Amino acid sequence: MNSTSTHFVPPRRVGIYEPLHQIGMWGESFKSNISNGNMNTPSHLIIPSHQKLDNNLSEDTSHGTAGTPHMFDQEASTSRHPDKIQRRLAQNREAARKSRLRKKAYVQQLETSRLKLIQLEQELDRARQQGFYVGNGIDTNSLGFSETMNPGIAAFEMEYGHWVEEQNRQICELRSVLHGHVSDVELRLLVETAMKHYFELFRMKSSAAKADVFFVMSGMWKTSAERFFLWIGGFRPSDLLKVLLPHFDIMTDQQILDVCNLRQSCQQAEDALSQGMEKLQHTLADCVAAGQLGEGSYIPQVNSAMERLEALVSFVNQADHLRHETLQQMYRILTTRQAARGLLALGEYFQRLRALSSSWATRHREPT
């Protein structure tokens, strides 16, 4: 009965595919449903207690609905006052009628939502077919799609989809080559191709940042787990080193020293940029907050605020520059084989993050 591709869980007793039938049923079986206690009604459909009629709906109700204190009075008086019975039955019918109307409105809401959901899913499928990169499940849908209205961002999302495909292909190749036997020249070529691939991503991001810096800052093209580790629109350079290092077994003393220095300078550069970002946030907040009370959404210092936002683009570029330089330095310090292993480790790390995002999203789709 329920559509398996949605997250949408209708109330148990309501078949959203047969609303009219249900409403009919609702009216007829109203009394018995209450008494059987199997009515899974949302709270706004429960008869308000001031009508005090729940008590009269069934002769054998055992729930304490509001108004119970009057039950015994009514039972005692109905035998002596038939017109009271009539009045109560009328009130009963009225309550039932109102309840049916509320139920109808609710079901109509559900219907509309269901249609909207189907529409969104179709959009998603279409986008996927066209090569747009679409993150898992519902994580990115509402925000992701409003951005595709921007041609620069739409272009980026399409390019990114291709980028990931190529990335996966390169990772496969690295993996198979490292398990087998390969000449140093060949390996070097693979490593340089992989490096250039990352640099290409930074170039793409730079264009995207010009189109919409918030899109890049929020990592909207990434899966949810990747976004968790976001630092100024991408991965932390220091994290990169952390991921790579365990995979280098034999290192010369010079290499160990160089890596140590790189880690330290990378961390210092990262900290400096982080603090610069914080300052940017503070000054932007001050800009937005400035002015008298009661100005509503009018921003007295809007020009100043816009200038701050322009500065964000430089920050994104600087952060990518840092990532670029970190990769470059690692390549300089390591041997070709070590670099190949490092790039494989890095690529697999991001693949695992994406897989984790999928697992997480699918986990929530399981019926409870």
- Can residue 266 be called a binding residue for other proteins (CB under 8 A)? yes
Of 180, 191, 119, 203, the closest CA to residue 335 belongs to: 191
Specify the residue, 121 or 258, whose C-beta has the smaller distance to other proteins. Answer: 258
The contacts of residue 352 (CB under 8 Å, 6+ apart) are: none
217 part of the interface to other proteins, by CB under 8 A: no
316 makes contact with other proteins (CB under 8 A): no
Q: Which residues contact 173 (CB under 8 A, 6 or more apart)?
A: 190
Given 119, 261, 359, 362, the residue binding other proteins (CB under 8 A): 261
Asked if residue 283 binds other proteins (CB under 8 A), the reply is yes
Instruction: Say if residues 245 and 168 touch (Cβ distance below 8 Å).
Output: no
* Binding window for other proteins (CB under 8 A); candidates: 10-18, 117-125, 205-213, 260-268: 260-268
Query: In this chain, which of 57, 182, 201, 262 binds other proteins, going by CB under 8 A?
Result: 262
Which of the stretches 182-190, 245-253, 326-334, 354-362 binds other proteins when contact is defined by CB under 8 A?
Answer: 326-334
Bridge partner list, 234: 231
Is residue 269 involved in binding other proteins (CB under 8 A)?
yes
Q: Is 280 in the site for other proteins (CB under 8 A)?
A: yes
Please identify which residue in 165, 271, 286, 295 interacts with other proteins, judged by CB under 8 A: 271
Nearest distance from C-beta of residue 269 to other proteins, angstroms? 5
78 contacts 85 by C-beta, under 8 angstroms: yes
Q: Any contact of residue 182 with other proteins (CB under 8 A)? A: no
The answer to the question of residue 268 lying near other proteins (CB under 8 A) is: yes
Specify the stretch interacting with other proteins by CB under 8 A; choose among 22-30, 154-162, 186-194, 319-327.
319-327
The single residue among 121, 166, 325, 348 that binds other proteins, judged by CB under 8 A, is: 325
Nearest in space to 334 (alpha carbons), one of 272, 259, 246: 259
Q: How far is CA 323 from CA 109, 328, 351, 352, in A?
A: 48, 9, 18, 20
- Should residue 153 be labelled a site residue for other proteins when binding is judged by CB under 8 A? no
Maximum alpha-carbon separation in the chain: 105
CB of 288 to other proteins, least distance (A): 15
Strand (E) or helix (H) holding 232 = none
- By beta-carbon proximity to other proteins, the closer residue of 95 and 312 is 312
Size of the site for other proteins (CB under 8 A): 28
Residue 129 CB neighbour total at 10 angstroms: 8
Beta strands in the chain, from DSSP E residues, in sequence order: none
Q: How many helices (H) and strands (E) does the chain have?
A: 14, 0
Chain-centroid distance of CA 240 in Å reads 24
Rounded to a whole number of angstroms, the minimum distance from the CB of residue 174 to other proteins is 24
Roughly what angle, to the nearest 10 degrees, separates helices 302-333 and 237-244? 20
Contacts of 109 (CB under 8 A, 6+ apart): none
Contact flag: residue 220 with other proteins (CB under 8 A)? no
Q: Name the site residues for other proteins (rule: CB under 8 A).
A: 258, 261-262, 265-266, 268-269, 271-273, 275-277, 279-280, 283, 307, 311, 314-315, 318, 321-322, 325-326, 328-329, 332
